[in-house]
Structure 1
Amino acid sequence: MESQIQQQEYTTTPEGMPASEPAGTLALPPAPQSNAQLKKLGAQVRAFLDELPEYIAKFYNENQKPITVVLLIVATIVTVKVVLAILDALNDIPLLAPTFELIGIGYSAWFVYRYLLKVETREELGQEIQAITSQVVGSKK
């Protein structure tokens, strides 16, 4: 039992080929759109681009608060990332991070000594905090 494989016959003679353009010439496909259609499309695009600033201004005026909030959030995120990148770069400098820690410890010790050890200085600190609070929030009258 032999399996028989049928081979397709291929024509290699010019008679079997469909008629085409003469040798050496290329046939271009027909243009999908006429010049009138292209001019109409160009006019529509030009009209849209002419009215685009008006569309943007109208959209901004209608949605001014949400756009401002979104831009502020994005600006805050970018600012925080930049500050963190700068701090990370500073922390990579040898001996700078321990120096900042010592400065922080020294300032905290000075603050405790200046404002928190004595009763008079604690009262002075309380008055300063009340003054700043009344400036920010407003005084109660």
Structure 2
Amino acid sequence: METEQQQLESVDIISQEGMLALQSADNQDLPKLPPAKEPESQWREMGRKTAVFLAQLPDYFSRFFQNYKQLLITVFLILAAIVTGKVLLSMLAAINDIPLLSPIFELIGLSYSTWFVFRYLVKSSTRQELAEEIQSLKQQILGESITSS
């Protein structure tokens, strides 16, 4: 059996009329392929769209920030608090690993707690003094006059 191979013809890319994929008597009534577009124009179009997008990028960012300003600030503050907490805990863990420093801090904490209880919580007059100091501190922080009910 002899096989017939058709010679591929060179295709004119710039031609504006359609052409058949394979020339044969059997496919003359088939629709023709559309002419190929110039590949350079596709690259130019993509480059133009990219340039327009990059030119409008600062506007996109400014509109995004204006629309979500409060949310972005809140997320930033939450992340900053988490990072600060992690750093603080790692510093405390590092200090806790130093020999004799941890027991000294515990002794200082117990001493201060004992002093506070005997200074402010044992007698009624000193409890009232502590309550007045707390009210004064609230007034300084809040800036309003707090009345006792």
TM > 0.5 fold call: yes
Q: Provide the residue aligned with 1:69 in structure 2.
A: 74
Separation of aligned partners in 2, 1:62 and 1:101: 50
* Count of aligned pairs: 109
Deviations 1:67-108 (A, max 9, x none): 111111111111111111111111111111111111101111
Identical columns (%): 46
Structure 2: gaps spanning 5 or more residues: 1-37
TM-score, normalised relative to structure 2: 0.65
- How far has the Cα of 1:140 moved from its partner? 4.1
Which residue identity is paired with 2:71? P
Aligned-partner residue type, residue 124 of structure 1: E
- Tell me whether 1:99 sits opposite 2:104 in the alignment: yes
- Offset of residue 114 of structure 1: 2.1
Alignment of 1:32-71 (within 5 A): 34-71=39-76
Contact 2:135 2:146 in 1 (8 A): no
**If the length of structure 1 is used for normalisation, what is the TM-score?**
0.68
The answer to whether residue 133 in structure 2 is matched with residue 128 in structure 1 is: yes
Matched, 1:108 2:113: yes
- Aligned CA RMSD, in angstroms, stands at 1.9
Q: CA deviation at 1:46?
A: 2.0
C-alpha change, 1:136 and 1:97, in structure 2 (3 Å) is same
Could you tell me which amino acid in structure 1 is paired with residue 43 of structure 2?
Answer: L
Larger RCO (CA under 8 A, 6+ residues apart): 2
Structure 1 residue runs of 4 or more that deviate by more than 3 Å after TM superposition: none
Task: Give yes or no for the alignment of 1:139 onto 2:142.
Answer: no
